[in-house]
Structure 1
């Protein structure tokens, strides 16, 4: 078992002691990646690589894939496929820490500036200099163990020196024995183990320097700066912790007789059980127009496929097909021969920087609409938007009507069976929505609901400029209304030197709710919002960079909607609030056709017509969703 390095030690080395700490670290490995690798040094991590602005993601992905292939052959150590794939402006990969150090970081301008520096020359020419540098940082770990006695002598370490020593510690920890906690604290034992292993840490670093030197005959053939930075491919979670009447959607239906059968809404979630009676039209056909499963998307477009289906053994090819298609209820499954041909073609297209051919991908992701989702969440969200109230047999729960009971739904599944789903899959789903609209003479999908939550680390990306937020902005720019849950991080546990306590949390909006152009929705009480105000769990604004969020609130407590297998039930969270706003936006688009393709105007109308609950702007945004007032405003 490898030795796990505590997060506090990572931050201490990168940023300095608490009493004299920098706010930002300067290296191409972002904080979340350092922390993830330190916690489990021997395991690969799902990472996102941001290409240098001068190079397309497809080119960067291909060069890294080929560089990594050569490196792994030199090492002669078996490794699982890195599953390198690219979307607009981002590359996903599954890499070990030593691969990031030896393959990815040398492709950054940051490293190449330092590789020729005096510090690196000294470390490369004098191995004892590496030992001295590691020992200096090791001696400074007393400040980590006793933050109240921190002194300023730690500050002179440069960003490069901090990077080198922390990298050495993590490389060493991969093979270091696990520390058993006894009467001494775990942190003390880790610090003592590091102090005793200075020579071993230095040797780990020297091996890395030597390998980088050996690989420079490849590196020199590539652009000076190919990669900008490395971060974690962030896991996504569900924003989950008599509502139609509360937002006055029933009054709109009564007064305006709005039909939404010509409006289509995407639910980017865990999946919609399309055979639920509440989603059937009068002809008993599902109103879920199509279902797409993105949980295996990266394997479908991975650069590994060009080798597996070219030189791989028959066993390897069949195993790969099973990874991609096994257990999937595909609507139009390709034959094994066609599947191998198309998967190889997709991989070769990426390597040649040929635009993605979605027509080859669709057979691998389009599933039957009656495929049971991994959980009830997406079906519940879809029901709030578009359930049609039906009479249910006993034991199924009490049914309820959604905001738009005749709307057309699209099912985009981004949560896998093990729920270890990543940001990359969400980005792919949003890009696919843009593709579907581009292939139609009229708007095919008018809006998208994202009842998902991805915590934002301010040290990694500017607020609202993460990969998923950028893709949301592109989708809005294309004319699609995007509605996102604010998140359920409004009440959290905090730990201080006096101990732990629970309290409300400001600036707790999660991604993609931090994206400026999306409609970000907080939660309020189902029937008595003026009395109870904003739900205790609902994330608070403003955003980390000072913008006003959430945009408005909607019912999110004990919301009745559809469950899988024809059932009904209650769920809570901003996940349930967001689809109320999606339904309201769909009603406006159905009534006022000139608003189609103008998501900014839809957001403006909904925000300006919201009802003030008398709460702080950072809590309620513009107020509570009021569909009737929105209609009266136009």
Structure 2
């Protein structure tokens, strides 16, 4: 449809009212308005909406985004979470007054009144849920703009409040700012272009996204069928046009965009006053007084997607020699694997009993997987509308945790009541709804593979099968790992039996990655907070360590490096005495699109979260058999961190590592996901051998780093070197 590179009208469908249908904003246009021209981008936006939030709404202005809200120090997460539903009700009434379209329902939802045992239909759920120091909500941009932003500390700053009221004289400059991304726009006053305040940039971009979100949605079939009782998902918008074409779309409406944003300020302020008038009449009005003066919200970020860090091994790090020489037994050490799930039916995780003979193949042995927790549903369980889950969802939870529907409904009702009463998360109640009894197979084999590297038992291989289709390359190249003895595709070739790092260790299975794309930072943080709860409840270290073979890309424009929500939670967990090991990520080799074509190169500063956390042991990948020759894997993320700290901390084998997968099979995988569990196993061996190190994760990290073998590579590639378990044990 695009034919001239400039005319937006020939490039995009229009509605009957003469306006374009909803359209995405290209990245370069977004950054020009928000941060300034590319050749002079020294402006840092200081609004409470972080860069990833702007980018997400710019790509789809009319859809919801899942955001994480950090409360200001004057407020609790429970305070903020309870303000959002009240604010949504007031804003929805304003929508009707202004004749604005209401949100497209994502699902049929009801408000439950326990006093009358009735439900009334209301706004589509925002899936509001809170943890310690963090709130998650799924909101439209107009809700962020008109509910969250007025609750922020930033909104109460005099330079913000007063200058918004005085924007009218700056309308010509705001108009120029919106048109400036076009290459055909001629500026009459260069100084005024470079002199826009961050507030004016906020107003211009927010007004543009708000205006686009009110346009008609382009007609297109939904990409996913509707679930029972729910509306189909909104169809995605087509890819963005160029900056010139996009400006051409909204150029005739610039004055309307600016006027609408200035008018909106008065409406938002009026709604804000109504909200606090309502709060002042409540019994707990004193709890809101500080927040009203200082703000309830510090900042808003995107609830980022978490993915696996997946792109010859135990002998390479001398784990077998260390276990043999020091007679290390890890059966009293417990490690949490936060991943996609562990196949507990795999014989490599059986409790090894040498008294059983080969005739016992049909037995159902005890597993070293102590418990399995489903954190993929944590959001709906602890949300403000937990009691309003559809009967089918309640039944699914009941079946998974081995309770009756009535019991589950009762717990959900109690959790929802705790939410309304602004109580901290009651994990004693929540864990009853996430502890699986009828355990399904994992969403994918990644978690089982990771767990096998930490704790597979090669002596229990008699019920296992090798993935011969996957094994030929690894066997023929003399790959090492935790494979059991079996014939490969090469005749008469055998793979020697290997154990994981700690073949008697006990494991907790924390499932945060599902089969859908709803794997978020919030679920990972929930699991980390629950581990702290478990240890605090027992008054001693019950879960000694955590393995995070996950990758969440870090954007420097959103947070200081190592200070993202998931990194902060890792720091709290380490402070509580738990060893945390994370994959460095697989972004060490990247492909860039330039005007001259694609360019491939190695990428520095590519460590992903939670590996950017200072106290976490961040692990890169190296070749398993010939690490001194081949060095660090090409895909392994490289440091330093964005703020100049050394990362990764060390490297471990991560190429073609043999380990357990689902269906009682074995297969090779590569990635820093495979390197991290080697270090988890090494840390567990240290704790098992020297129990005085339990509760001292920073000391464990220091020992592993100081004893690593130098591969002769740059520190930003290899960290302190390659993991050496034997030397680590000998160094104490």
TM-score where L is the length of structure 2: 0.80
**Contact kept? 2:465, 2:664, Cα under 8 Å:** no
Tell me the residue number matched to 2:175. 135
Q: Which moved more, 1:66-75 or 1:82-91?
A: 66-75
Give the secondary structure class of the aligned counterpart of 1:282. Answer: coil
CA distance in 1, matches of 2:42, 2:275: 32
Where does residue 186 of structure 1 map in the other structure?
242
Question: Equivalent of 2:457, from 388, 408, 411?
Answer: 388
Check the 8 A contact 1:17/1:143 in 2, yes or no.
Answer: no
Measure how far apart 1:131 and its partner are.
Answer: 5.5
Q: Secondary structure at the match of 1:197?
A: helix
Pairing 1:446–2:544 present: yes
Match of 2:328 among 238, 255, 258: 258
Deviation at 1:109, TM superposition (A): 2.5
Could you tell me whether the CA contact under 8 Å between 2:400 and 2:439 is conserved in 1?
no
Question: Which residue in the other structure is 2:346 paired with?
Answer: 276
Which residue in 1 is equivalent to 2:660?
562
Bigger Cα displacement from structure 2, 88-97 vs 493-502? 493-502
Partner in structure 1 of residue 109 of structure 2 = none
In 1, the alpha carbon distance for the partners of 2:437 and 2:594 equals 51
Q: Quick one: distance in 1 between partners of 2:683 and 2:161? A: 56
Conservation of the 8 A alpha-carbon contact between 2:90 and 2:275: no
1:514 to 595, 608, 612: 612
- Partner Cα separation in structure 2 for residue 418 and residue 291 of structure 1: 19
Shift of 1:117: 4.6
Superposed displacement of residue 189, structure 1: 1.3
Q: Does residue 302 of the first structure (1) align with residue 403 of the second (2)?
A: no
Question: How do residues 63-102 of structure 1 correspond to structure 2 at under 5 angstroms?
Answer: 63-75=83-95, 77=102, 79-102=123-146
Instruction: Determine the structure 2 residue equivalent to 1:576.
Output: 674
The number of aligned residues is: 616
Give 2:15's aligned residue: none
Q: 1:111 to 1:603 in 2, by over 3 A?
A: same
Distance 2:723 2:427 in 1: 37
Give yes or no for contact 2:303–2:521 (8 Å, CA) kept in 1. yes
- In structure 1, how many angstroms separate the alpha carbons of the residues matched to 2:372 and 2:539? 21
1:350 equivalent in alignment to 2:394:
no
1:111 aligns with 2:150: no
Q: 2:37 aligns with which of 6, 11, 17?
A: 17
Question: Is the counterpart of residue 161 in structure 1 residue 217 in structure 2?
Answer: no
Q: Find the aligned partners of 2:322 and 2:160 in 1 and give their Cα distance.
A: 68
Match of 2:65 among 45, 51, 66: 45
Q: Determine helix, strand or coil for the equivalent of 1:198.
A: helix
Determine if the alignment matches structure 1 residue 287 to structure 2 residue 340. no
CA displacement, residues 550-579 of structure 1 (integer Å, 9 cap, x when unaligned): 100000001110111111111110000000
> Residue 174 of structure 1: CA displacement?
2.1
SS in 2 for 1:11: helix
> SS of 1:619's equivalent?
helix
Structure 1, gaps ≥5 residues long = 310-316
> CA offsets per residue over residues 460-519 of structure 1, 9 Å max, x none?
111111110111011111111000000111111123443320101111111100111110
8 Å CA contact retained: 1:523, 1:535: yes
Match of 2:409 among 331, 340, 345: 340
For 1:367, which of 436, 455, 466 is the aligned residue?
436
Q: 1:150 to 1:615 in 2, by over 3 A?
A: farther
Query: 1:329: how far off?
Result: 5.1
Relative to 1, partners in 2 of residues 1:454 and 1:410: Cα closer, same or farther, differing over 3 Å?
same
Aligned equivalents of 2:644, 2:376: Cα separation in 1: 34
Residue 338 of structure 1: how far off its partner (Å)? 2.8
Structure 1 residues 317-364: Cα deviation after superposition (integer angstroms, max 9, x where no partner):
461x5335527752332x333322322222222332323211111121
Work out whether 1:612 is the aligned partner of 2:713.
no
Q: Is the 8 A contact 1:274 1:371 kept in 2?
A: no
Give the conservation status (yes or no) of the 8 Å contact 1:19–1:150. no
Cα distance change on mapping 1:106 and 1:552 into 2, 3 Å:
same
Residue 314 of structure 1 corresponds to none
Q: Tell me how far apart the structure 1 counterparts of residues 297 and 90 of structure 2 sit (CA, whole Å).
A: 18
Residues 59-68 or 512-521, more deviating: 59-68
SS at match of 1:483: strand
Question: Relative to structure 1, is the Cα distance of residues 394 and 405 closer, same or farther in structure 2, using a 3 angstrom cutoff?
Answer: closer
CA distance in 2, matches of 1:387, 1:538: 24
Q: Distance in 2 between matches of 1:324 and 1:471?
A: 30
2:489 maps to: none
Tell me, in whole angstroms, the C-alpha distance in 1 between the residues paired with 2:529 and 2:367: 25
Identify which of 2, 26, 31 aligns with 2:51: 31
> Which residue does 1:595 correspond to in 2?
693
Alignment partners' CA distance in 1, 2:407 and 2:303 = 31
For residues 169-219 of structure 1, what are the alpha-carbon distances to aligned partners after superposition, in whole Å with 9 as ceiling and x for unaligned?
11122244789999x963321011121221331354245324303303234
TM-score (norm 1): 0.92
The offset of 1:220, in angstroms, is 4.2
SS at match of 2:314: helix
SS at match of 1:330: helix
Gap regions ≥5 residues in structure 2: 1-20, 97-101, 106-122, 220-236, 278-287, 354-364, 469-482, 485-497
Q: 1:17–1:154: 8 Å Cα contact kept in structure 2? A: no
- 1:242 aligns with 312
Q: Quickly say closer, same or farther: Cα 1:55–1:3, change in 2 above 3 A.
A: same
For residues 722 and 315 of structure 2, the distance between their equivalents in structure 1, rounded to whole angstroms, comes to 13
What SS does the corresponding residue of 1:326 show, helix, strand or coil?
helix
1:62 is displaced (CA, Å) by 1.4
Give 1:520-539 correspondences, 5 Å limit. Answer: 520-539=618-637
Whole-angstrom CA distance in 1 between matches of 2:170 and 2:32? 19
Q: Say which is worse superposed, 211-220 or 511-520, in terms of deviation.
A: 211-220
Match of 1:552 in 2: 650
